[in-house]
Amino acid sequence: MEIPFWKLEGIGNDFIVVKERDISMVEDESSFVKEVCHRRLGLGADGLMVVKESEVADVKMRYYNQDAQEPIFAGTDSAVLQSMCTIRELSVPKNFRWKPLQELRISKLPKESRERESLK
């Protein structure tokens, strides 16, 4: 199975980012996260982010640590998510709104609005 992904680094941490639609066929998400994040046998990463469309934000995101746990969202993760969305033009309004599991968050972006690539 081929799954498109991005591997990004921020402040010494690295993350694998995938669109939710691209992993919809994955049966055991926990095993998938552990295999992908494994440093020697997988792509190697500190965590995996799954992004998708949101009704209340520009992007909705689920974050998993290497052990497939869903922790409280940290600052490095949000910086990497914001950068990835800007680079990939997934969402680049002046105020970037993203939603982890807990709450809606807003970050200021330096770039002007552009069209966004569909996450559906």
What pLDDT score was predicted for residue 27? 93
pLDDT value for 114: 44
Each residue of 94-107: pLDDT tens digit?
556 655 555 555 55
**Is the whole model's pTM more than 0.75, yes or no?**
no
What structural domains and CATH numbers belong to the chain? 6-108 (3.10.310.10)
Is residue 113 very low, low, confident or very high in pLDDT (cuts 50, 70, 90)? very low
Residue 45 corresponds to which tokens in the numbers above?
């990463």
Grade residue 44 by pLDDT with cuts at 50, 70 and 90. very high
Q: What distance in Å separates the CA atoms of residue 116 and residue 29, rounded to the nearest whole number? A: 27
What is the rounded average pLDDT for all residues in the chain? 75
Two tokens, residue 106: 């807003």
The span from the CA of 120 to the CA of 112, in Å, is: 23
Q: Residue 11: which pLDDT band, with cuts at 50, 70 and 90?
A: confident
Q: In what order do the strands lie in the sheet with 95-99?
A: 6-10, 13-19, 47-52, 59-65, 95-99, 105-108
Question: Residue 115's pLDDT band (boundaries 50, 70, 90)?
Answer: very low
Beta carbons within 10 angstroms of residue 1's beta carbon: 7
